[in-house]
């Protein structure tokens, strides 16, 4: 009777494995249950029933009775390798780089069919001439299919589309990014201190701006900001990004690295505490994008193919969920990785910014600037650069240097890991938490421009060429970025005979500076300052398009009387926020330091006469 029971157990284990094959087209709802049942029941049967039985069976027949059975020996070896490979897949997984994981997958897959075949051959009753070809045919057909099976606007001020039939999300739908940390540790740590992560409650500039927008246009207008800065809050129909805005309360984790507060919140509250900013699933469950308005992208959180226990917050359930994913990560990968994510258009829905309808006037046009740039050249791969080629590629010695490594712990080695520092112009806020993030962003800034200088007929002529940015230099909102020329000329006695672009005592740029910027104005041609949503007219735009050179000319007084030789030093300086803006924000959040001035490029020249 025991022999029959063991055969039944093996066949049931086999069938629960076969049901996961794509030939059966099992829907994910059932597949995930079958997978969990297969792994857990097979582990129990193998440890407590099968292995003790096989041990006793070998002793009884091969040691005591000294029976000789070739099929029995093969069956025993197969069983050992299948059980061992199964436990390896469960405990370690098959993430891509581990050769034992790859071998374990194929041993477990193909060995199961061979095992079943030899199980029938080893049976006491003879296998008929009809049964043998049937078994052989089933074996061949089965191993031919080794693939695993798996089978409208939210708010009027945003353009986020949810999947059909879904009006809003629940907090639990927004899986915490902390759950990604154990398998994607390096990527999580990069993202944790990035500006994409810190777009709301740890960004004092944003909190002041959202409150200002609400005071000027009404609380509903917050949604216009939140669609990109805090999609989880918009889609769960919250009215503001964070409660910290209520009393100008800046959490201590403004300066805290590694998302420690997020990890702590998840341990205490699980998924019930909504994550702020742009989370892992906020990007990796976008299914469609365009550039037709703020946050014009489609999300799909409820149709994700989740493994058993994937939503659980208990330690044991999390452990099992990770093991289920690691043993068969294909479905997980397909759920969170799409070809769309490699395209520059993927970034357009938030990095092209529009005023709400009906005007839909463009505030930021970073993607459109790239479209018209020489970097958008798909016919010449050497010249073509997408957004991620610049903003998600590692930098070393002020050059893009592909980083070799893995995106998943134990995953396949890749020649160019797309890092999640999300390097850009805002080195300051990420730099408060991580010097590595700050360094990556500053290196990127220093790839952007090239200077040239000469003196002609009593004028200093400075050329600034945008050689590295695939968009205007700088890009972004109105006059919220400062890029300017700092010029100093000294005579042979080291006396300063010309100066421009210095900071005043209060930290603001002097009036003689030549910043590269755009200035928005209202209908009365008055600059709108912080109220950029009041924009009606563009007063000026002196920014530098990609691949273009802008020339600035400065007149030198009494140049004929100068004592030569002259020494010229020109710096292209950058500050992420002007001092006047930081002064406003620091009134609400006095612990906020002022952003430093970064020198992007420097050129020195000596003029004999």
pLDDT digits (tens, 9 = 90+) for 552-607: 999 998 888 899 999 999 999 999 999 999 999 999 888 899 999 999 999 999 99
Query: Strand pairing partners for 452?
Result: 463
Of the three residues 440, 469, 504, the one that is the final residue of a domain is: 440
User: How far, in Å, CA of 336 to CA of 325, rounded?
Assistant: 13
Indicate whether 301 and 422 sit together in one domain. yes
Structural domain contains residue 153: no
Structure tokens at 452: 């040239």
| DSSP code per residue over 98-147 | -HHHHHHHHHHHHHHHHHHHHHHHHSSSPPPTTHHHHHHHHHHHHTT--S
Of the three residues 101, 126, 144, the one that is the final residue of a domain is: 144
pLDDT > 90 fraction of the chain, expressed in percent and rounded: 56
Of the three residues 392, 419, 440, the one that is the final residue of a domain is: 440
What is the span of the domain harbouring residue 71?
3-144
Structural domain contains residue 152: no
Indicate whether 218 and 110 sit together in one domain. no
Helix (H) / strand (E) containing 399:
strand 399-400
Structural domain contains residue 394: yes
**Residue 3 pLDDT:** 63
pLDDT bin (cut points 50, 70, 90) of residue 143 is: very low
pLDDT bin (cut points 50, 70, 90) of residue 138 is: very low
Structural domain contains residue 80: yes
Residue 465 or 562, more confident: 465
Structural domain contains residue 165: no
Q: Are 556 and 460 in contact (CB under 8 A)?
A: yes
pLDDT bin (cut points 50, 70, 90) of residue 126 is: very low
Structural domain contains residue 160: no
Mean pLDDT of 144-162: 59
**SS3 of residue 461 by DSSP:** strand
**Residue 48 pLDDT:** 81
pLDDT digits (tens, 9 = 90+) for 82-118: 888 888 888 888 877 778 888 888 888 887 878 777 7
**Residue 152 pLDDT:** 41
pLDDT digits (tens, 9 = 90+) for 495-533: 999 999 999 999 999 999 999 999 999 999 999 999 999
Mean pLDDT of 439-457: 96
Indicate whether 312 and 346 sit together in one domain. yes
Indicate whether 177 and 317 sit together in one domain. yes
Indicate whether 60 and 140 sit together in one domain. yes
Helix axes 70-91, 315-327, angle to 10 degrees: 120
Structural domain contains residue 423: yes
pLDDT > 70 fraction of the chain, expressed in percent and rounded: 89
**SS3 of residue 161 by DSSP:** strand
Indicate whether 462 and 431 sit together in one domain. no
Mean pLDDT of the chain: 87
Choose among 267, 202, 192, 260: nearest CA to 230: 202
User: How far, in Å, CA of 140 to CA of 116, rounded?
Assistant: 12
Of the listed ranges 291-305, 339-353, 446-460, 541-555, the least confidently predicted one is: 291-305
Q: Are 573 and 501 in contact (CB under 8 A)?
A: yes
Structural domain contains residue 572: yes
Flag whether pLDDT at 9 surpasses 80: no
Residue 72 or 587, more confident: 587
Among 24-28, 65-69, 317-321, 487-491, which range has the highest average pLDDT? 487-491
* Residue 584 CA from chain centroid, whole number: 31
**Residue 403 pLDDT:** 95
**Burial (Cβ within 10 Å: 0-12, 13-18, ≥19) of residue 30:** middle
Indicate whether 115 and 8 sit together in one domain. yes
DSSP state for residue 515 in the 8-state scheme: B
Instruction: Determine how many CB atoms are found less than 10 A away from the CB of residue 21.
Output: 18
Flag whether pLDDT at 53 surpasses 90: no
**Residue 55 pLDDT:** 74
Indicate whether 397 and 505 sit together in one domain. no
Indicate whether 299 and 394 sit together in one domain. yes
Flag whether pLDDT at 129 surpasses 60: no
Structure tokens at 431: 């730099």
Flag whether pLDDT at 397 surpasses 60: yes
Count of domains for the chain: 3
Indicate whether 458 and 390 sit together in one domain. no
Indicate whether 208 and 355 sit together in one domain. yes
Mean pLDDT of 354-379: 90
pLDDT bin (cut points 50, 70, 90) of residue 21 is: confident
**Residue 249 pLDDT:** 62
Indicate whether 198 and 299 sit together in one domain. yes
Flag whether pLDDT at 270 surpasses 90: no
Residue 453 or 76, more confident: 453
């Amino acid at each position: 009777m025991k022999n029959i029971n063991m055969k039944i157990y093996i066949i049931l284990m086999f069938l629960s494995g076969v049901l996961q094959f794509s030939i059966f087209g099992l829907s994910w709802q059932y597949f995930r249950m079958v997978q969990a049942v297969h792994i857990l029941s097979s582990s129990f049967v193998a440890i407590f029933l099968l292995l003790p039985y096989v041990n006793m069976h070998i002793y009884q027949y091969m040691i005591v009775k000294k029976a000789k059975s070739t099929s029995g020996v093969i069956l025993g070896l197969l069983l050992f390798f299948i059980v061992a490979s199964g436990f390896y897949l469960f405990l370690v997984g098959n993430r891509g780089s581990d050769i034992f994981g790859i071998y374990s997958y194929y041993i477990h897959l193909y060995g199961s069919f061979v095992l079943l075949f030899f199980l029938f051959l080893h049976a006491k009753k003879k296998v008929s001439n009809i049964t043998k070809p049937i078994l052989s045919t089933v074996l061949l057909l089965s191993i031919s299919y080794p693939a695993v099976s798996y089978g409208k606007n939210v708010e009027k001020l945003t353009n986020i589309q949810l999947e059909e039939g879904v009006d809003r999300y629940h907090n639990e739908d927004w899986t915490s990014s902390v759950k990604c940390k154990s398998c994607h540790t390096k990527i999580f740590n990069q993202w944790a201190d990035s500006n994409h992560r810190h777009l709301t409650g740890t960004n004092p500039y944003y909190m002041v701006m959202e409150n200002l927008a609400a005071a000027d246009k009404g609380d509903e207008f917050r949604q216009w900001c939140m669609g990109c800065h805090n999609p989880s809050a918009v889609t769960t129909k919250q009215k503001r990004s964070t409660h910290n805005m209520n009393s100008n309360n800046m959490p201590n984790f403004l300066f805290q690295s590694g998302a420690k507060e997020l990890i702590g919140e998840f341990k205490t509250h699980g998924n019930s505490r909504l994550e702020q900013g742009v989370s892992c699933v906020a990007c990796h469950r976008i299914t469609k994008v365009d550039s037709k308005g703020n946050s014009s992208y489609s999300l799909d959180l409820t149709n994700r193919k989740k493994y058993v226990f994937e939503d659980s917050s208990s330690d044991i359930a999390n452990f099992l969920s990770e093991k289920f994913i690691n043993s068969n990560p294909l479905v997980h990968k397909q759920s969170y990785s799409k070809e769309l994510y490699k395209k520059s258009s993927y970034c357009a829905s938030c990095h092209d910014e529009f005023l709400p309808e009906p005007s839909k006037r463009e505030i930021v046009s970073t993607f459109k600037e790239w479209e018209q740039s020489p970097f958008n050249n798909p016919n010449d791969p050497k010249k073509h650069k997408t957004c991620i080629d610049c903003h998600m590629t590692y930098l070393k010695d002020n050059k893009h240097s592909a980083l070799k490594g893995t995106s998943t712990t134990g995953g396949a080695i890749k020649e160019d890991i797309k890092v999640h520092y999300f390097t850009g112009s805002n080195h300051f806020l990420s730099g408060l938490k991580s010097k590595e993030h700050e360094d990556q962003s500053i290196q990127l800034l220093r790839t952007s421009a090239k200077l040239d200088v000469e003196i002609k007929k009593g004028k200093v002529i400075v050329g600034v060429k945008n050689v590295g940015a695939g968009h205007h230099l700088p890009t972004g909102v109105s006059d919220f970025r400062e890029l300017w020329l700092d010029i100093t000329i000294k005579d042979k006695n080291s006396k300063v005979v010309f100066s421009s672009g210095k900071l005043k005592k209060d930290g603001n740029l002097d009036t003689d500076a030549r910043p590269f910027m755009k200035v928005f104005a209202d209908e009365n041609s008055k600059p709108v300052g912080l109220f950029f949503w009041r924009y009606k007219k563009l007063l000026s735009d002196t920014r530098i398009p990609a691949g273009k050179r802008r020339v600035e000319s400065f007149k030198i007084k009494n140049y004929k009387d100068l004592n030569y030789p002259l020494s010229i030093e020109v710096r292209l300086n950058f500050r992420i926020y002007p001092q006047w803006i930081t002064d406003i924000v620091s009134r609400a959040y006095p612990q906020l330091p002022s952003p430093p001035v970064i020198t992007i490029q420097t050129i020195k020249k000596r003029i004999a006469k």
